[in-house]
Structures are given as structure tokens and as C-alpha cells.
Amino acid sequence: MAWIKRNLFFVIGAVIAVGLLAAAGVYDFQNWQRNNTALDALNQMYATLQNLNSQTPSPGNDTVNNIEIAGGQAQQLRQWIQQAQQYFQPIVPIPNTPNGVVADAEFAAARDHTISQLQVEADNASVTLPPQYGFSFEAERTMVKFSPGSLGPLSQQLGEVRAVCEILFSAKINSLDGVRRVPVSPDDAGGPQADYLTEPAVTNNLAVFTPYEVTFRCFSQDLANVLTGFASSPHGFIVTGINVQPAAGVATASSIPGAPPMGMPGQPAMSYGQTPPFGRPFAPAVAPATGGGLQTVLNEQLLSITLEVKVVKLLPGN
């Protein structure tokens, strides 16, 4: 103790020095751990960079910045999506209530009005319908109470069926034989199976694809008008399949008065649309006039068409 008293300042200095050395050791140890952690992170980032550079395409180099190029392409894609949205306008459901909640009485009234209106439009366009046709809503035709949760999908389908039929009527088809849709209500189980499809609606991260099938009879020009109508519609219609067959037992003839004979002398008669042996198409052969009557230049047959159409409904945010 006497020595400590004589060397008090030295002892205090020594204690402080030991404390500082201990603090420095702890500090160095902590920094060593941080350095190791940072080194591991750096090695991981370096390995990731090497992996990215070895891929095709790579992020780029000093002369080519693929990341910037990809960002520009993504912006172009977003602009294209915005421009394409004008061709995917939603079809208004029937009835279209402000809050989206449809009551039984509202749907029943809208159903009767829509079916009656479609029948009138078909009659005005000279389109033949099956007797008392319900446009695939035969199961709900006389109902006043509907299964819970089904009126929303039924209202949407009623609006989509109307949009499809209006395109067919505008194309002046000869007759509408049937419309088929996806069953969306337990009430559909009581309807004729000819009204329904087995193919379900499909949803991805962009849209809902709802299939429909329409069967009708028309001539080739009318079919072209139908396809043009779907292609030019502001709604998202995609024709995914078409089956064309002759409508049995029905044909018509188009005549042009005074049409001169067609074809080349010495060549065999060719049927309409047939290609001659030397690879050059003819106009159809003309039947000789009899008794001063009209000359038949085109004998077109009525066609039976089955068209598969998908309605594309974009999801919110797309």
C-alpha cells in the first residue's frame, strides 16, 4: 500500500492504460467481425455479378447498357398496353346497377326486356330465330327468384350475349340457330344442355377469358361481315375457332344480265374457285343462256357456321 501511495499517479495511469487497451481490443474485434461480414457480402455480390454477366442477355458493359434498354422496352410495353385498352372496353352488364348489387326483380325485368329487344332486332334484320328463343337463358326465362350470388355473373353474361348477337344481326346473317355460354348459376342446371359449354372461363394475371359459341347460317360475305364486326368492336372479342359446313339442301344463284362468256377457248370448264392446270385462276364458267334468260355466274351455297368467341375482360389495374 505504501508503494501505491508513493506511486499513485503511476498506478492510476496504468489502470487507465489497461482499460484503454481492453476497449481497443473489443473495438478491433468488432471491426474484424464487421469486416468479415462485409467481405462475405462483397464476395456474394461479386459472384452474382459474374453470374449475371455470364447470362444471355447480360446486364451489359461499357458500351451496351442492357438494363437501360430493358427499362425503355418496359416503358414501350406499358404505353402499348394503354393504347390497347381502347379495344378492350368492358361490356356493360344488364342490368347495370350503380353499386353492382342486382336484385331479383331488377334482373327479371332486364332479362325480359333484353330478350324481347333482341327478338325485335332479329326480326328487323330479317334474321330467323328458333321459336320463342331465350338466347341461352331458357333456365332463367320464367324465374323471379334466383340462386344467391348468381345475379352478378348472369347480368354480365346477359350483356355479353347481347353484344355478340348485335354483331351477328348487323352482319345480316340468315338465321341464328343457337348461343351457348358457361353455366354460372345453380339455376342453369335446370335448363337445356344445348345452352351451355363445358369449357370454363379462364383467369390469368391480366384478364378473364369467357368463352361463347354461336351457331348460325349465312353466306360467305355475311361471314366476312361477322368476323369484321368482332375485329372492329371496342370490346375484347377474340375468335378462337370456326367451323364452316354447307347448310344441307339450301343453295342460291346470283345472276348478272348480259354477262359475256368467260374462260379461254379450248380449256375445260372450271368450277368456281378452282385453279387451272397452268396455275392461273379463272373466273367461274358461265352457263349458256336459255330462252334469253339470265346467265348464272355464281352458285353460292348457304353455310352453317359454328363460331367460338372469347370475351376478354381486363382485370383492375391492367
Q: Alpha-carbon torsion 24, 27, 33, 36, what sign?
A: negative
Cβ 180 vs Cβ 194: under 8 Å: yes
Distance between CA 269 and CA 316 in Å, rounded? 60
pLDDT of res. 271: 39
Q: What is the CATH number of the domain that holds 220?
A: 3.30.70.60
Q: How far, in Å, are 161, 177, 307 from residue 130 at the CA level?
A: 16, 6, 18
CA-based radius of gyration for the chain = 38
For residues 92-96, average pLDDT: 91
**Residue 94 within a domain:** yes
Least confident of 6-10, 147-151, 261-265: 261-265
**What's the domain range around 228?**
86-254+299-314
**Residue 278 within a domain:** no
Among 315, 310, 77, CA closest to 207:
315
**Residue 178 within a domain:** yes
pTM above 0.95, yes or no: no
Q: What is the pLDDT of residues 221-239, one digit of tens each?
A: 999 999 999 999 989 899 9
To the nearest whole number, what is the mean pLDDT of the chain?
81
Strands 175-180 and 207-218: antiparallel
**Residue 275 within a domain:** no
pLDDT of res. 202: 92
DSSP state letter for 144: S
Read off the pLDDT band of 20 (50, 70, 90): confident
**Residue 146 within a domain:** yes
The amino acid at residue 158 is L
Q: How far, in Å, are 35, 105, 142, 159, 245 from residue 95 at the CA level?
A: 68, 11, 17, 8, 37
**Residue 196 within a domain:** yes
Domain count, the chain: 1
Bigger pLDDT: 270 vs 219: 219
**Residue 44 within a domain:** no
Distance between CA 155 and CA 136 in Å, rounded? 13
Cβ 303 vs Cβ 219: under 8 Å: yes
Distance between CA 216 and CA 167 in Å, rounded? 12
Q: Residue 229: phi, psi to the nearest 5?
A: -65, -45
Read off the pLDDT band of 274 (50, 70, 90): very low
Distance between CA 210 and CA 212 in Å, rounded? 7
pLDDT of res. 159: 94
Q: What is the pLDDT of residues 167-207, one digit of tens each?
A: 999 999 999 999 999 999 999 988 899 999 999 999 988 88
The C-alpha cell of 198 is what? 363445358
Beta bridge partners of 176: 216
Please state, for a pLDDT cut of 70, what percent of the chain lies above it: 79
Q: What is the pLDDT of residues 23-48, one digit of tens each?
A: 888 888 788 888 888 888 888 888 88
The C-alpha cell of 11 is what? 498506478
**Residue 105 within a domain:** yes
Cβ 223 vs Cβ 174: under 8 Å: no
